[in-house]
Structure 1
């Protein structure tokens, strides 16, 4: 039997290396618990292109049916299509096999409930409690199995929701589908609404031969010379399953995620004032845009902004870097919708994305990931947090809703948190100038390295990006 880990669900669903942590046996246990949680209703199942995803999907499907739940199998499909299908076809819930942006040896799953919204932390706890308590159904109460290809309906409904007006401006977009399933629909949608596109990394391959599946700056910026050479307006890059979207433009390079969120917030708040829920690693660009538009920004846990959306009244947008929940489309994260909406903005305003983003504030930011042995992650993190509190508590505002965030009087801030999906400690920071930013990041990075060194450990990797 697969050993029950202290906590199965992390920041965003369940993830782990195949077959060490995530394997068919785990999916069988999970299937029984999920079938019980959804009261043996009809559920939709889909998966990304990872080499292990089909096997995990088959194991899960067998377990669900054997536990009395009926399964509608979408097969290989983007994650946004699965979430949309839950709502569109009025199903009880859905499960998507994916490890999102993680390396190819990882896999996992996310669970959605009625309406297409991800399950909450409380829901996750209920499923975990029932992992080894739930039972199979009797021979006369087994669920049914069917297949469905909803891509045509998805394409049609997404285009209809955008109501793109005829425009003489035809945006030129490079679409990097990361060897994943977004290639099944994203190129068609952008072409149909009026963009001229060039697809790269369009062969579906769960080994991700084109590039690393996380569309971060160091991964995407080597494509910048290509973007400039072919005269395109923007590069839209997805992750492995299509919930994340990154944007690169010819002159500005990698566009900070905060500025994309701020752009969505600006447009939505011009139509309706309300609350914008963002993850704790979002910064001042979003805050300034939201407040200038008469809205209210609320910080929430990373990976759980959908819970914040449900918690606060009059919420008009929920987002975290890479991911946007726009209720005008649905209560789920969908990178394909984000790409289509940004294309719509370019067409309606008759400008490229760089010109549109000129009205959005820009502040230097840094992100840093330090690889830490899993068995040391908690104690190293806690030691560094205590050192940071001791150093900064009297000089700044402290927030601990997800990790430790320290906001200073000069509007700079830094956040440290444990990754919920990988054995890493992550740092996020923002400041008014590069020198202040470097100083802030290095001061906390040195605390992490010192804590590791005292335990005789040297991190095998440090990923660090500074965006001016």
Structure 2
């Protein structure tokens, strides 16, 4: 029996040919069909050169397991999520490697109503069956037909804004040659028809699986300059850049400055709570003070969840939360079946800019000044447990408030840290934030102090 190494905690991802190929993709489709026995599911793929053939193999596996497929063509992950809860289907699969290197690809799977399939909720069963390669024959094979989800998806996106309230805006949009461009084009047409005064300045717009401008991953500092420079050059109100399957968006203010995902969580919480107070907002434990401050200010209820989409979605469902946000730029919405979207956030922020009549920098400057943060710093370490214990022991004498929702969070009043081991790599991830009004030291001094302990 072959061990398949492409199965991860939340999805399937691997190096092409050695870890993921058409044969494995076929087996994934076959196993999904045999385990869940859906009548029909939606399938899409991103722009990578290998995605189309992996998708075709996957669909063949689904059909051979008796599953009918609506092929959505080239899509972002959230178009598959949307199809899975909007149409009369029982699941969805997207072939994508998002922001991984060129020689990788992957598969994201959901069940009915776009409920996630991760290691805890069925992915291990799919892996086991695919490895055993012991499939049942079905009496009737499934069919495949093409389906254009785009018009319905765009209509849904417009429900998050009040078109008549949008003031004139100039937006730089950077699809990174990934899958986002076709949605922006469709929204632009719709905006024109509705007389919404938004001008789009498009860079790296065409879908191109050779990624001539580099892998679309704006979380890397070196990938931000093109968006930032375009914002300044065109005097835009905001810059938006997406990763390859556009389930994450990254925002730049009118000065071309990149805004940490952490502060966007506060901004989106504000956008929802302005409309309706008392709603629940779910956040992860890595950086929390700004989110708690905003949610309290606008009369919401903050709920903490472990990081990771499967956990956030679960907590949101249990709490009926209107919105959930992670500092890693994943944003989840109740009206989007608790799924993450890279299109809804910038629409909400555009709405907030119009409503408050403020610039994006002025909306976030106070947050950043009040609660400056380090951003996530990664350390390669061989024994994550030993290092976390060392930090724990070192600071025990200061009697911090301890929280173990995800890794270890230590709160000292003037500053706090969260340290956690990566699910997928031998990495420690560190986040530090400061309460500027209480701290007598600089943020950098704390970062240096903890970094020295990690590397001791």
Structures share fold, TM-score greater than 0.5: yes
- Which residue of structure 2 lines up, in the alignment, with residue 81 of structure 1? 79
Query: How far is 1:358 from its partner?
Result: 5.3
Alignment of 1:398-409 (within 5 A): 398-409=402-413
Write out per-residue CA displacement over residues 310-333 of structure 1, whole angstroms, 9 at most, x where no aligned residue.
Answer: 2x3232211212121122344211
Q: Which moved more, 1:238-247 or 1:437-446?
A: 437-446
Is 1:206 matched with 2:209? yes
Tell me the distance in 2 between the aligned counterparts of 1:32 and 1:295.
45
Is 1:279 matched with 2:275? no
Q: Which runs of 5+ in 1 are unaligned?
A: 451-468
- Which residue of structure 2 lines up, in the alignment, with residue 381 of structure 1? 384
Is 1:152 matched with 2:151? yes
Check 1:425–1:238 CA distance in 2 against 1; reply closer, same or farther (3 A cut). same
Partner secondary structure for residue 282 of structure 2: strand
Contact preservation (8 Å) 1:13, 1:109: yes
Tell me the distance in 2 between the aligned counterparts of 1:259 and 1:161.
20
- Which residue of structure 2 lines up, in the alignment, with residue 331 of structure 1? 338
| TM-score, structure 2 normalization | 0.88
Query: How far is 1:139 from its partner?
Result: 5.4
- Which residue of structure 2 lines up, in the alignment, with residue 95 of structure 1? 93
Query: How far is 1:255 from its partner?
Result: 1.2
Partner secondary structure for residue 113 of structure 2: coil
Q: Which moved more, 1:327-336 or 1:78-87?
A: 327-336
Contact preservation (8 Å) 2:176, 2:211: yes
- Which residue of structure 2 lines up, in the alignment, with residue 259 of structure 1? 263
Query: How far is 1:274 from its partner?
Result: 3.2
- Which residue of structure 2 lines up, in the alignment, with residue 426 of structure 1? 429
- Which residue of structure 2 lines up, in the alignment, with residue 317 of structure 1? 323
- Which residue of structure 2 lines up, in the alignment, with residue 301 of structure 1? 306
Q: Which runs of 5+ in 2 are unaligned?
A: none
Tell me the distance in 2 between the aligned counterparts of 1:440 and 1:411.
8
Tell me the distance in 1 between the aligned counterparts of 2:431 and 2:102.
25
Tell me the distance in 2 between the aligned counterparts of 1:211 and 1:429.
30
Contact preservation (8 Å) 1:278, 1:319: yes
| TM-score, structure 1 normalization | 0.85
Query: How far is 1:87 from its partner?
Result: 1.4
Out of 442, 448, 451, which is 1:442 matched to? 448
- Which residue of structure 2 lines up, in the alignment, with residue 235 of structure 1? 239
- Which residue of structure 1 lines up, in the alignment, with residue 23 of structure 2? 25
Tell me the distance in 1 between the aligned counterparts of 2:422 and 2:71.
34
Contact preservation (8 Å) 1:381, 1:448: no
Q: Which moved more, 1:235-244 or 1:36-45?
A: 36-45
Query: How far is 1:232 from its partner?
Result: 0.7
Equivalent residues, number: 440
Check 1:32–1:268 CA distance in 2 against 1; reply closer, same or farther (3 A cut). same
Query: How far is 1:199 from its partner?
Result: 0.6
- Which residue of structure 1 lines up, in the alignment, with residue 354 of structure 2? 347
Check 1:131–1:299 CA distance in 2 against 1; reply closer, same or farther (3 A cut). farther
Query: How far is 1:266 from its partner?
Result: 1.6
- Which residue of structure 2 lines up, in the alignment, with residue 460 of structure 1? none
Partner secondary structure for residue 158 of structure 1: helix
Measured on the aligned residues, the alpha-carbon RMSD in Å equals 2.6
Write out per-residue CA displacement over residues 145-203 of structure 1, whole angstroms, 9 at most, x where no aligned residue.
Answer: 11111112222232245332255x31110000011111001243156143111011112
Check 1:346–1:273 CA distance in 2 against 1; reply closer, same or farther (3 A cut). same
Partner secondary structure for residue 140 of structure 1: coil
Out of 345, 350, 372, which is 1:364 matched to? 372
Tell me the distance in 1 between the aligned counterparts of 2:38 and 2:133.
11
Write out per-residue CA displacement over residues 278-336 of structure 1, whole angstroms, 9 at most, x where no aligned residue.
Answer: 122232111111122333322222223112212x3232211212121122344211111
Contact preservation (8 Å) 1:38, 1:93: no
Contact preservation (8 Å) 1:155, 1:189: yes
Query: How far is 1:91 from its partner?
Result: 0.9
Tell me the distance in 1 between the aligned counterparts of 2:136 and 2:69.
14
- Which residue of structure 2 lines up, in the alignment, with residue 163 of structure 1? 162
- Which residue of structure 1 lines up, in the alignment, with residue 33 of structure 2? 35
Partner secondary structure for residue 202 of structure 1: coil
Q: Which moved more, 1:138-147 or 1:105-114?
A: 138-147
Tell me the distance in 1 between the aligned counterparts of 2:422 and 2:135.
36
Contact preservation (8 Å) 2:271, 2:348: no
